[in-house]
Amino acid sequence: MYKINLLKTLTFLFFAITISVGATNNTDQTSSAEQESPVKNLKIEIKEYINHHLLDSYDFTFFSYTNDAGEHKYVSAPLPVILIDNGLKIFSSSKFHHGESVAEVDGDYYVVYHNKIYKTDALGTIESDEAHHATNEKPMDFSITKNVVFIIFVGLFMLLIFSRMANSYKNNPMPKGIGRLFEPLILFIRNDIAIPNIGEKHYRKYMSYLLTVFFFIWIINLLGLTPLGVNVTNNIAVTLALALVTYFITTFSGNKNYWKHVFWMPDVPWPMKIILAPIELLGTFIKPFSLMIRLYANITAGHIVMMSIIGLMFVFKNWIGSSLSFGLALALALLELLVAALQAYIFTMLSALYFGSAVEEHDHH
C-alpha cells in the first residue's frame, strides 16, 4: 500500500503542476506556441498528447504522424457514431475527419469539440460561455467509441479463453494449457477472497461476478499498458458502471440484519441510532463511490506519470537526462504491471467485503 500512496502523491503533485502550467498557457496556445522556444512548444505538445491519449475517441487511432508537407496524418479505423437526436442516427466517424470537419447527417450538423459531439450549423460554430464551456445542444451519444470497442474486444477475449478452459475440464479433471495459469487465480479468488469475506454459505452466488470483475479489470488494465491497447479504466464512466453493479448487488442481497445495521444500529443508545442512521445510509453509497474513484484515480495517475516521464526523454534531449527518464519509465512500467493486478484485487476484495456485510447473519459486535 505504501507504493500506491507514493504513486498517488506523485500524481497529485503532477496534477498540480499541469493544472498551473495549463492555466497560464490555455488561452492562446497556438499563437504563443509559435513565438515561444521550441522546448516550450514540445512541452505543450506532450501535454496535449497526454490529455488526448487519456480521452476516449470516436475512431480507433493506431498512430498519427506529421508528414513532410506539415500535414497531420492519422492511421486509424473509423467507428460507428450512434446519436439519439430526433430519432436514431447512425453514421461513420470518418465523417468528422478526426474532429477537423463538420459531419452532416440527414440535414443536421454535428461537430466534435473537446471530445464531445455537439449539434451545430453548416459552418461548425461553437458558442461558448465565459468559462469556455460550449453551450451548443448535445445530442444523446451512444457511439461505439474506441473504449467501447476495446471493452467488446476484452469481453470476447475473456469469453474465448474461459469457455475453452471450461471445455478442457470436460474430459480431464486437471487444468490444461491456459487453465494452468488461471486455475490458481480462480481458486485464490474463491478461497482467499470470496469464502473468508462472504462466508461458506453464501459465497457461491457471488463467484461469477467476483471472477468476472477481477479478470475484466486485470486484463483490461494490462492491455491498457500495451502500445496498441486502450486504457479503459481511466474513464470515470467505466468505473462508475462497475461500482454501480457492486452497489446494486450489495443492496439487493442485503438481508434483514444488514438493513437493521444501517437504519437502526443495535446495541447502542437510541439517540446514537438516530445519528448513526444517516451516516450508515451515506456509507452504503460512499463504499461503491470509493471503489469508483480508487480504480479511476490509480490508473489515470499511473498513465499520466508514465507518459510524462516518457515525454521528459524528449524534453531533456541529452544522454544523462533522457537515459535517467528511460530508467524511471521502465521502473514505473513495472510498477504499473503490479498496480494493474493490485487494483483488480482491491476492487474484487472490497466488493466481496460489501457482499459479505450484506449477507452476514450472526449478531456479533
Partner 1 sequence: MDKLIEQFSLGLFFWQLILFVALVLLLKKFAWKPILNAVNDREEGILKALDEAENARKEMQNLTADNERILKEARVERDAMLKEAREMKDSMITEAKSEAHAQATKVIDQAKATIESEKHAAITEIKNQVAELSLEIAEKVMRNELSDKNKQIKLVEDMLKEVKL
Residues near partner 1 (CB under 8 A) are 55-56, 82, 115-116, 133, 140-145, 147-148, 151-152, 155, 158-159, 162-163, 165-167, 169-170, 173-174, 179, 183, 186-187, 190, 204, 207-209, 211-213, 216, 235-238, 240-242, 244-245
Nearer to partner 1, 185 or 333 (CB): 185
- DSSP string covering 278-323: HHHHHHHHHHHHHHHHHHHHHHHHHHHHHHHHHHHHHHH-SHHHHH
Report the residue number, 179 or 302, with the smaller CB distance to partner 1: 179
Q: Which CB atom, from 18 or from 41, has the smaller least distance to partner 1?
A: 18
Q: Minimum distance between the CB of residue 326 and partner 1, rounded to whole angstroms? A: 30
* CB-neighbour burial class of residue 29 (10 A; exposed 0-12, middle 13-18, buried 19+): middle
Range 124-146 burial, b when 16+ CB lie within 10 A, else e: beeeeeeeeebebeebebebbbb
User: How near is the Cβ of 108 to partner 1 at its closest, in Å?
Assistant: 18
Q: Quick one: which of 142, 143, 96 has its CA closest to 120?
A: 96
> What's the rounded Cα separation, in Å, for the pair 187 and 364?
29
Nearer residue to partner 1 within complex by CB, 149 or 225 = 149
Task: Pick the closest to residue 280 from 298, 262, 293 (CA basis).
Answer: 262
| Shortest Cβ 49–partner 1 spacing (Å) | 17
C-alpha radius of gyration, the chain, whole number: 24
Nearest to 58 by CA among 88, 97, 89: 97
Q: Please, which residue, 229 or 337, has the CB nearer to partner 1?
A: 229
Q: Which is nearer to partner 1, 214 or 258 (CB)?
A: 214
Cβ atoms of 280 and 262 within 8 Å: the answer is: yes
Q: Residue 142 Cβ, how far from partner 1 at the closest point, in Å?
A: 4
288 vs 312, beta carbon nearer partner 1: 288
Closest approach, Cβ 314 to partner 1, in A, equals: 26
Closer to partner 1 at the Cβ: 34 or 200? 200
Q: In the bound complex, what is the minimum distance in angstroms from residue 120's beta carbon to partner 1?
A: 18
For residue 34, the minimal CB distance to partner 1 (Å) is 27
How many CB atoms within 10 Å of residue 363?
10
Q: Tell me how far, at minimum, the Cβ of 241 lies from partner 1, in Å.
A: 4
- The residue among 125, 94, 119, 97 whose CA lies nearest residue 107 is 119
As a whole number of angstroms, the distance between CA 18 and CA 137 comes to 30
- Contact between 182 and 161 (Cβ < 8 Å): yes
d(CA 188, CA 195): 10
